[in-house]
Amino acid sequence: MMKFSIIELERNSDDGVIVAHWEATQTSGENSASAYGTVGFTPNSSSEAYIPFPKLTKTKVIGWVKKALDTKELKKILDADLAEQVSPSVLTGTPWQKKKQTP
C-alpha cells in the first residue's frame, strides 16, 4: 500500500495553501521505494470550500495531493522501483574483485 506524507506546506498572506510538498512510499518486505514532489494550489478565500491554514488536517491535504496526482501511475513507478531492487537489470562491480564469502 502506498503511504503519503506531507513534508511542508507553503501559504500566502491569506493563510491559503499554495504549495504542498509530499512524499509517497511503498514497501515490499524489507525493500521500499519513494517519490517526492510538489503540488501547487490557487486558494480562493471567498470560496465556501476554502480552509485556512490553521484549520487544515493532514488527511485533508493528502486528499488534495492525491486528487492532483495520477496515483495509479505513481504506484506503477514505485512498484517498478521495488521490482528493480529485487532483480536489478543493471549489475555493478569488476571481474577482478571477488565478493567475500561467508563461512
Which position has the grid cell 524489507? 30
pLDDT of residue 22: 98
> 3-state SS of the chain?
CCEEEEEEEEECCCCCEEEEEEEEEEEECCEEEEEEEEEECCCCCCCCCCCCHHHCCHHHHHHHHHHHCCHHHHHHHHHHHHHHHHCCCCCCCCCCCCCCCCC
Q: What is the pLDDT of residues 25-53, one digit of tens each?
A: 999 999 999 999 999 999 999 999 999 99
Average pLDDT, the chain: 93
pLDDT of residue 92: 87
- Return d(Cα 52, Cα 47) in angstroms, integer: 11
* pLDDT band with cut points at 50, 70 and 90 for residue 79: very high
pLDDT of residue 25: 98
Residue ranges per structural domain of the chain: 3-86
Position 100 pLDDT exceeds 70: no
